[in-house]
Amino acid sequence: MKLTVQKKLWPLREPFVIARGTYTTSDVIIVELQDGPHVGRGEAAGVDYHGETPDSMLAQLEAVRTRIESGITRAELLKLLPIGGARNAVDAALWDLEAKRTGRRAWDLAGVGNTREIASAMTIGIRSIEGYEKTARGLAHYRWIKIKVNKEDPLACVQAVRRGAPNSRLIVDANQAWDVPTLYALGPKLAELRVDLLEQPVKVGGDDDLVAGRSPIPVCADESIDTIDDLPRLKSRYEFVNIKLDKTGGLTAALELAQAARAEGLRLMVGCMVTGSVGMAPGMVLAQLCEVVDLDGPLLQAEDWANPIQYDRTGVMSWPTPALWG
């Protein structure tokens, strides 16, 4: 088996501003695994708040190149590489390669089928109040809109989006910018605006006073969860967990985490780092198990892969073609 790894910078349509910073490109790695006539692909951005970069992921893969090229299973990969983008990219390529070898689609190999329609949220980054309303007006046909906010008057930001998109379901993502008292103070007002989900409003490790069910809006852990090991401390604090393949280190581990989270009574969201359609495609397999879907990476980019995933006016995603992935 031959391993090829390269870096890719996808330009974004506009600067993407969240509470952690501003991004103008999506910086990813692309992995290809070739076995005879078959080539499997994976794409990953890594987890920047864990210190991952394309260069660090490339270094991880070069360190284990010989082992990968000698032939490796997904189960063996879980022991070979730690969680993160490098393992995600190889895991995705292994899924794709198996689909190409067997002629079966990845969601059938995963045992989840593809009967559930996948409607992704579309994300609005931080901007002026007027900008929130104007942007929301242009996205009002989406079923779901995700609103990035920080600690600067988040209520006004959500009010502006609600004016622009009166019928869309809303996710508010503060990326750890609030504390627990702020969350509980804002909760009833955000509920009046028909917000459906609050995503990681408080800092990782700053949620000791968070109690599941106390907020009128369900609260979702994102940066607070990477693996199954995180579930015991989260289940009494959060109603949802956001599973991202870059965090878990691939679809294989993500499917295991999803089942374990369900067993603990937690509800599921699938999210993404910003990548192209090859990075989104494995997330669509996981999305079959999730109530809330945020797989809008390609919509934030100015460019994408050939044969990309298509999104209709409401955010419903087309299934990836075999020419793309899986």
Token pair 């009494």 is found at 236
Strand spans (E) along 66-215: 122-124, 144-148, 169-173, 195-199
Q: What is the dihedral angle through the alpha carbons of 73, 76, 80, 84, rounded to the nearest 10 degrees?
A: 70
230 is in an annotated binding site: no
State in Å, rounded, how far the first CA of the chain is from the last one.
18
> Could you please report the per-residue DSSP string of 96-122?
HHHHHHHT--HHHHTT--S-S--B--E
Catalytic residue among 8, 100, 146, 148: 148
Answer yes or no: are the C-beta atoms of 326 and 95 closer than 8 Å: yes
Residue 244 catalytic? Answer: yes
Reference 76, options 50, 94, 61, 60; nearest CA is 94
Phi, psi values for residue 262, rounded to 5° = -60, -40
Q: Is 246 annotated for ligand binding?
A: no
| Angle subtended by helix axes 54-63 and 85-102, to nearest 10 | 60
Could you tell me the two tokens for 251? 């679809």
Q: According to the annotation, is 222 in a ligand binding site?
A: yes
The pair phi, psi for residue 281, each rounded to 5°, is -55, -45
Parallel, antiparallel, or unpaired for β 144-148 and 169-173?
A: parallel
Residue of 8, 100, 146, 244 marked active site: 244
Any idea which residue has 């797989």 for tokens?
295
C-alpha 204/C-alpha 206 separation (Å) is 5
CA trace torsion 122, 276, 91, 89 (10° rounding): -120
189 part of the active site: no
> What are 32's strand-pairing partners?
4, 41
Q: Any idea which residues carry the catalytic annotation? A: 148, 244
Annotated binding site: 173, 199, 222
Annotated binding site for Mg(2+): 173, 199, 222
